[in-house]
Amino acid sequence: MYAVDTPPRTSDPAPQPAPKKVNRVRRRSQREARTAWLLSLPTLLILAGLLAYPLYRMIVLSFQNMRLRELITGLTPPWAGFDQYTKALTDSVFWGVVARTAVFTVVSVTISVLLGLGVALLMRRVHSKVRLFMMIAMMFVWALPALVAAQAFRWITDSDFGILNYLIDKIPGVDFANHSWFVNPWEGWAVITTLVVWAGIPFLAISLSAGLTQVPKELLEAATVDGASAWQSLRSITLPILKPLLTIVTTLSVIWNFGLFTQNWALRDGHPEPVYQTLATFSYTQAFGQSRYSYGSAISVITVLLMLGVMAFYIRQMFKIGEVD
């Protein structure tokens, strides 16, 4: 018998998806995108109705020269073009306020997110009753109005009757009697930052604690069996899973803290010194404290423009998470 040579068998080509299936998936994605926008439309319309006209008036006012005379008489303010913006963008005081606001935002958000994550991790390790007590306590802190919290911190740090000075003064060799926390800007901003962080931790801790429930215990147990430390498990497993949620809560914290107004305004009794001015208080002081309404409006418009990038990033992340889900 003679051997018959057979051609070598070649691997079968990879199956290609059917065109109908590809079109069906594409149409489904388009329907889901339209549904997401339709569900968001009522909220967007309400926000536009509440904010569109005030924002329009603020923009128009920033291009005018509104003075106290026009405000009282009702006359149309003279048109000033970009004069108010030129004045702001060439003012070293304005840029100092911008830098101060940005530094405060970075510091306060970083501390808040780290402490919030730490509290969230702690909540996953304690007994369920202790976790419930922690959540109730933090909800009370979160529900406390910012003005009330600021007044409480003002009493705590009062130079004459504050409990903080009283306790520190009890330390041997330390004299803190009648110490004013706002004479030194570093100490004053430490008080303001502590207040903002204290008020922001509940939202971050509760949100991140809910996100931690999505971390599979099997992965953490397998990593422990493989000899991974707690830090390695956190860095390689927990944080990657929490990344979308961390991005969202961090972005929200940036938006809230960048618009700081109530805390430093109340702690300084409605008259914050220049070193404690942020963009929100600076705009208000210029508009209503010095009757420079158009200049204050221009500063407000610039603040909105600075925040648009952060807001766009936040909305984009929300839609990305929706697409993943």
Pure H helices in 124-229: 128-143, 146-156, 163-169, 185-212, 217-225
Give me the pLDDT at residue 257, please: 93
* Number of residues that this document lists for the chain: 325
Give me the pLDDT at residue 159, please: 86
Query: How far apart (Å, rounded) are the C-alpha atoms in residues 276 and 265?
Result: 9
Give me the pLDDT at residue 21, please: 64
| Residue 289 DSSP symbol | I
Residue 27 phi, psi (nearest 5): -65, -35
pTM value? 0.81
Counts of helices then strands in the chain (DSSP H, E): 14, 0
pLDDT of the chain along its 325 residues, tens only?
444 555 555 555 555 555 666 677 677 777 777 887 888 888 888 877 888 888 888 999 999 888 888 888 878 888 988 999 999 999 999 999 999 999 999 999 999 999 999 999 999 888 889 989 999 999 998 888 999 999 999 999 988 888 998 898 888 888 888 888 999 999 999 999 999 999 999 999 999 998 888 888 888 888 888 887 888 888 888 888 888 889 889 988 998 999 999 999 999 988 899 999 999 999 999 988 888 899 999 999 999 888 887 777 777 766 666 555 5
**Using alpha carbons only, how large is the chain's radius of gyration in Å?**
28
